[in-house]
């Protein structure tokens, strides 16, 4: 930790000013100086940046250690880039291309920005919560001997105050408390303004209570040193400020000294006379802006005081747009200085014309050496960290044996076999589930490998010799992280585990399970994990109508469509156990491949007859998205195209219809997602002169040109119906389009037209049509 000498404070204050100017100028340049090709507003958030430059200067140039990782409030991204620019790790070219194609991103991006970004942010709330899960991953790695004490760091989230309205933060807070997380700092830029206006007063002080009740230390930085001293002298001013509503406070900050005077006079009368006499309008306006989040001494002191591992919430009061002409104005969120205002700011900050991009423009000769020395000593990573791949050795994954199996049971079996095998891969597997460990069939793995908790927890039922199939003791060595029922937490946990190679240099194999319908519950968090290129396996089971007796909202309909549109996530939907084994092997490989991705396995509890195989020729097709389970005859007029748990209906219909439709094929689709991607990718390359047909084109071209397809899936029919567009074949799409209901599978298959009769009718329709 740097020594807190007065010189450091001065240098930090200068850097605060530099960050405020450079972030504002970067946004100004993109909007008002750079040529515009389309006339659209480029945008950017000068006010949100100015709000946190002091906080970020104190953090990055003083408090952060080399192992610390930060999630930066999305709209303060330009400040992070300005920091790297001052450190010499960001180019002028990138700053000048802010929000341009290939330029520095609007919001910090791990994958797209050229500077090191620890966590991407953008969808507010998620960047906050992932820091707590990353801290848990750090504890996990340390406990498992994959990380030394010296390499440990702190996880910091820089938060907008309106961000605190996001529910996922509180879900995370609860989970973090259960797991006793530490080494987390969440620093709130408490400017009391959101996007639309000023924030509600009623939550004042409540945040502290919420956090404290979850074991956090809370530190409020309300007034800066100067304003605190004035309040100590004139306590009535402090009491009055305490009672001042947010909106009034912001309006006065915007209006400035004369307005403060008039309002204080009106409210306090003679009680404030001495105070007002001691300040002219200008010093009064400046004094009222001296909030904790802009006071370098207060920030450095607060950070220095919290050097233990207790999770800490700092609430730093700030002025949104501090030092800018629209400071405090309720509409300033996306406000941009006009050119006159930007030049006035430049002049006021002592930046000579033409030197706007000079890192230390306007810094006096006396101060420069101190500032440069501080920049040199700053211990944050300046290079993008290499990602860790190629660490896993992946064994062959044998298919579980059994003539009748469900894919969910096969999944449990494969993991159990891996756990028992002692193969090195098993050591890197971490499973996690939001209270559906047992019902998604992770139980056997957990029995083998145990739950993870830093503090040992005995299985009370086992100790009391109460019979149970499930062991439930937790220890430092456990490999399953049990979560409460909050699907957003599951995805953030998977994201943090899936970034373990990037954040800590040790790749883990995260496997998360949930019921398929509840993917929707945490969708943005899932997208967030994929956006950062976290690598994990998501096992969604049970799915579709095979949740028959549960009915209603438990029967998932659209997750295959979600997967079709989700980058970074590969959907596989096996019908048979051997397909699943191949897919899991592939999913493990994809986790460890720089060009890989995460995998979503949609599984079912329906036990079905397994097929007899003649060799392994089906496997490549299955991993590419589909294969002919029943090869079509030459120039076949029709095919059934089916996916997953409905394969028995498809097979039965194939048997029945084959007599009437010679050469009828049965295409088993294992991934509409991969087929679709392959199709569009082939089209894109065709424009460049490459004529290689995609996998689905090759499969379908075995049929007669005008052949008809009956598509069948336990999901929205659009998951497969698009296949007709590939070669312009007619389609009769069967699937589920309305909310579920309770019933046996035959009831439901009949009701939703997924049974043999429906397939026959559909086939007749396309053939006759
Ligand atoms: C999930 C989500 N919803 C909405 C937005 C749009 N949005 C961006 S910033 C913002 C307000 C942020 O206010 P605050 O967190 O207080 O940050 P400030 O700019 O005041 O520092 C909103 C609604 C978003 N980025 N993410
Ligand atoms: Mg705010």
Give tens-digit pLDDT for 216-244.
999 999 999 999 999 999 999 999 999 99
Residue whose entry in the numeric block shows the structure tokens 């408390």 = 177
The residue whose C-alpha atom lies closest to atom 10 belonging to ligand 1 is: 195
- The gap from C-alpha 487 to its chain's centroid, in whole angstroms, comes to 13
Instruction: Please give the number of the atom of ligand 1 that sits closest to the Cα of 45.
Output: 19
The residue whose C-alpha atom lies closest to atom 19 belonging to ligand 1 is: 48
Model confidence band, residue 205 (pLDDT cutoffs 50, 70, 90): confident
Q: State which H helix or E strand residue 425 sits in.
A: helix 424-428
Residue 416 has pLDDT above 70, yes or no: yes
- Model pLDDT, residue 607: 97
What average pLDDT does range 462-490 have in this prediction? 94
Q: Which of 27, 47, 72, 75 to mutate to test the pocket of ligand 1 (most atoms within 8 A of CB)?
A: 75
Instruction: Please give the number of the atom of ligand 1 that sits closest to the Cα of 161.
Output: 16
Residue 357 has pLDDT above 80, yes or no: yes
Q: Which of 77, 188, 195, 291 to mutate to test the pocket of ligand 1 (most atoms within 8 A of CB)?
A: 195
How many angstroms is it from 675 CA to the middle of ligand 2? 44
Ramachandran angles phi, psi of 311, nearest 5°:
-60, 135
Ligand closest in space to the Cα of 528: 1
**pLDDT more than 90, % of the chain:** 92
Max CA distance (Å), the chain: 102
How many angstroms is it from 233 CA to the middle of ligand 1? 37
- Model pLDDT, residue 6: 65
Beta-carbon contacts of residue 160 (< 8 Å; ≥ 6 apart): 48, 73, 75, 124, 188, 189, 191, 194
pLDDT per residue as tens digits for the range 115-149: 999 999 999 999 999 999 999 999 999 999 999 99
Task: Using alpha carbons, select from 623, 620, 613 the residue that is nearest to residue 584.
Answer: 623
User: Which of 52-66, 159-173, 464-478, 661-675 is predicted with the least confidence, judged by mean pLDDT?
Assistant: 464-478
pLDDT per residue as tens digits for the range 338-349: 999 999 999 999
Tokens of 242: 């305490």
- The gap from C-alpha 39 to its chain's centroid, in whole angstroms, comes to 32
Burial 683-703 (b: 16+ CB within 10 A, else e): eeeeeeeeeebbbbbebbebb
In three-state secondary structure terms, 187 is strand
Task: Using alpha carbons, select from 656, 678, 672 the residue that is nearest to residue 714.
Answer: 672
Model confidence band, residue 558 (pLDDT cutoffs 50, 70, 90): very high
The residue whose C-alpha atom lies closest to atom 25 belonging to ligand 1 is: 123
The residue whose C-alpha atom lies closest to atom 12 belonging to ligand 1 is: 194
Contact status, residue 264 vs residue 342, Cβ threshold 8 Å: no
Ligand closest in space to the Cα of 77: 1
* pTM to 2 decimal places: 0.97
The residue whose C-alpha atom lies closest to atom 15 belonging to ligand 1 is: 160
- Model pLDDT, residue 769: 65
Tokens of 225: 């040193």
Residue 301 has pLDDT above 50, yes or no: yes
Tokens of 663: 């050469």
The residue whose C-alpha atom lies closest to atom 9 belonging to ligand 1 is: 195
Tokens of 359: 């890192």
What average pLDDT does range 39-53 have in this prediction? 96
What average pLDDT does range 167-188 have in this prediction? 97
* Alpha helices for 31-166 (secondary structure H): 46-50, 53-58, 77-87, 92-96, 126-143
How many angstroms is it from 122 CA to the middle of ligand 1? 9
Q: State which H helix or E strand residue 255 sits in.
A: helix 246-255
Contact status, residue 702 vs residue 632, Cβ threshold 8 Å: yes
Instruction: Please give the number of the atom of ligand 1 that sits closest to the Cα of 189.
Output: 21
Q: Rounded to whole angstroms, how far apart are CA atoms 374 and 83? A: 12
Instruction: Please give the number of the atom of ligand 1 that sits closest to the Cα of 51.
Output: 21
How many angstroms is it from 83 CA to the middle of ligand 1? 22
Beta-carbon contacts of residue 39 (< 8 Å; ≥ 6 apart): none
**What separation in angstroms does the CA of 59 have from each of 62, 65, 69, 354, 389?**
5, 9, 11, 30, 31
Residue 5 has pLDDT above 70, yes or no: no
Listing DSSP states for 512-566 in one string gives EEE-GGGGGGGHHHHHHHHHTT---EEEE-S-GGGGGGG-GGGS--SHHHHHHT-
Q: Rounded to whole angstroms, how far apart are CA atoms 366 and 326? A: 32
Contact status, residue 712 vs residue 646, Cβ threshold 8 Å: yes
Ligand 1: which residues within 6 Å by Cβ? Answer: 48, 51, 73-75, 123-124, 160-163, 189, 191, 193-195, 320, 333
Ligand closest in space to the Cα of 335: 1
What average pLDDT does range 240-266 have in this prediction? 96
What average pLDDT does range 402-424 have in this prediction? 97
389: left (phi over 0), alpha (psi -120 to 50) or beta: beta
Residue 3 has pLDDT above 70, yes or no: no
Residue 313 has pLDDT above 60, yes or no: yes
- Model pLDDT, residue 120: 98
- Model pLDDT, residue 550: 83
DSSP conformational letter for 631: P
Instruction: Please give the number of the atom of ligand 1 that sits closest to the Cα of 166.
Output: 1
How many angstroms is it from 598 CA to the middle of ligand 2? 34
Q: Rounded to whole angstroms, how far apart are CA atoms 209 and 214? A: 9
**What separation in angstroms does the CA of 20 have from each of 23, 49, 89, 346, 721?**
6, 7, 18, 11, 54
What average pLDDT does range 170-198 have in this prediction? 96
Model confidence band, residue 1 (pLDDT cutoffs 50, 70, 90): very low
Model confidence band, residue 768 (pLDDT cutoffs 50, 70, 90): confident
Ligand closest in space to the Cα of 192: 2
Mean of per-residue pLDDT scores for the chain: 95
Contact status, residue 653 vs residue 759, Cβ threshold 8 Å: yes
Q: Rounded to whole angstroms, how far apart are CA atoms 714 and 642? A: 9
What average pLDDT does range 729-733 have in this prediction? 95
- Model pLDDT, residue 200: 85
């Amino acid at each position: 930790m740097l020594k807190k000498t007065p010189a450091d404070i001065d240098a930090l204050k200068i850097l605060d000013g530099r960050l405020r100017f450079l972030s504002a100028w970067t946004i100004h340049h993109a909007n008002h100086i750079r040529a515009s090709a389309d006339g659209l507003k480029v945008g950017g958030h000068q006010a949100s940046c100015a709000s946190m430059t002091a906080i970020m200067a104190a953090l990055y140039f003083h408090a952060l250690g080399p192992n610390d990782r930060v999630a930066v409030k999305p709209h303060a991204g330009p400040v992070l880039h300005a920091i790297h620019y001052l450190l010499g790790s960001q180019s002028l070219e990138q700053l000048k291309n802010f929000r341009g194609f290939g330029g520095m991103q609007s919001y910090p991006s791990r994958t797209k920005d050229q500077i090191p970004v620890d966590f991407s942010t953008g969808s507010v709330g998620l960047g906050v919560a992932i820091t707590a899960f990353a801290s848990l991953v750090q504890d996990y790695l340390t406990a498992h001997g994959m990380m030394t004490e010296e390499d440990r760091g702190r996880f910091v989230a820089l938060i907008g105050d309106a961000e605190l309205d996001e529910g996922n933060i509180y879900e995370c807070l609860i989970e973090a408390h259960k797991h006793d997380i530490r080494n987390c700092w969440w620093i709130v830029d408490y400017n009391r303004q959101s996007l639309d206006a000023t924030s509600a007063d009623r939550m004042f002080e409540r945040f502290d209570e919420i956090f404290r009740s979850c074991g956090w230390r809370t530190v409020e930085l309300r007034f800066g040193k100067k304003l605190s001293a004035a309040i100590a002298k004139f306590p009535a001013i402090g009491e009055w400020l305490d009672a001042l509503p947010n909106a009034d406070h912001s309006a006065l900050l915007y209006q400035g000294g004369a307005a403060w005077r008039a309002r204080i006079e009106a409210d306090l009368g003679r009680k404030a006379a001495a105070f007002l006499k001691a300040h002219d309008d200008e010093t009064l306006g400046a004094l009222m802006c001296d909030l904790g989040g802009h006071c370098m001494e207060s920030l450095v002191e607060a950070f220095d005081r919290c050097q233990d591992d207790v999770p800490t919430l700092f609430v730093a009061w700030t002025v949104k747009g501090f030092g800018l002409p629209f400071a405090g104005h309720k509409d300033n969120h996306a406000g941009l200085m006009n050119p006159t205002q930007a030049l006035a700011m430049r002049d006021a900050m002592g930046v000579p014309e033409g030197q706007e991009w000079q890192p230390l423009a306007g810094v006096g000769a006396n101060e420069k050496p101190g500032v440069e020395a501080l920049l040199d000593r700053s211990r944050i990573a300046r290079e993008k960290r290499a990602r860790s791949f190629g660490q896993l050795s992946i064994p062959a994954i044998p298919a579980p044996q059994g003539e009748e199996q469900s894919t969910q049971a096969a999944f449990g079996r494969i993991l159990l076999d891996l756990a028992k095998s002692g193969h090195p891969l098993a050591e890197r597997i971490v499973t996690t589930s939001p209270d559906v460990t047992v019902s998604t069939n992770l139980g056997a793995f957990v029995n083998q490998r145990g739950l993870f908790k830093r503090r040992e927890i005995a299985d009370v039922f086992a100790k009391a010799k109460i019979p149970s199939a499930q062991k439930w003791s937790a220890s430092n060595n456990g490999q399953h992280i049990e979560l409460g029922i909050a699907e957003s937490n599951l995805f953030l946990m998977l994201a943090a585990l899936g970034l373990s190679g990037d954040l800590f240099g040790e790749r883990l194999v995260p496997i998360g399970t949930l019921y398929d319908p509840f993917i929707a519950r945490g969708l943005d968090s899932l997208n967030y994990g994929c956006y950062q290129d976290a690598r994990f396996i998501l096992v969604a089971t049970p799915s579709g109508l095979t949740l028959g007796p549960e009915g209603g909202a438990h029967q998932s309909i659209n997750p295959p469509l979600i997967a079709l549109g989700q980058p970074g996530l590969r959907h596989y939907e096996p019908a048979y156990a051997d397909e699943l084994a191949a897919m899991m092997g592939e999913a493990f490989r994809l986790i460890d491949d720089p060009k890989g991705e995460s995998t979503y396995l949609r599984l079912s509890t329906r036990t079905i007859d397994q097929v007899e195989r003649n060799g392994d020729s089906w496997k490549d097709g299955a991993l590419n998205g589909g294969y002919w389970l029943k090869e079509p005859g030459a120039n076949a007029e029709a095919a059934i195209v089916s996916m997953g748990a409905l394969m028995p209906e498809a097979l039965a219909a194939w048997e029945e219809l084959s007599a009437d439709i010679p050469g009828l094929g049965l295409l088993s689709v294992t991934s509409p997602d991969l087929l679709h991607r392959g199709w569009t990718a082939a089209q894109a390359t065709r424009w460049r002169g490459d004529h290689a047909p995609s996998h689905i084109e090759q499969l379908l071209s075995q049929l007669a040109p005008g052949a008809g397809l009956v598509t069948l899936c336990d999901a929205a029919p659009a998951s497969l119906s698009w296949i007709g567009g590939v070669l312009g074949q007619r389609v009769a799409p069967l699937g589920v389009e309305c909310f579920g209901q309770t019933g046996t599978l035959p009831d439901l298959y009949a009701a939703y037209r997924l049974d043999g009769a429906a397939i026959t009718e559909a086939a007749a329709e396309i053939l006759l049509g």
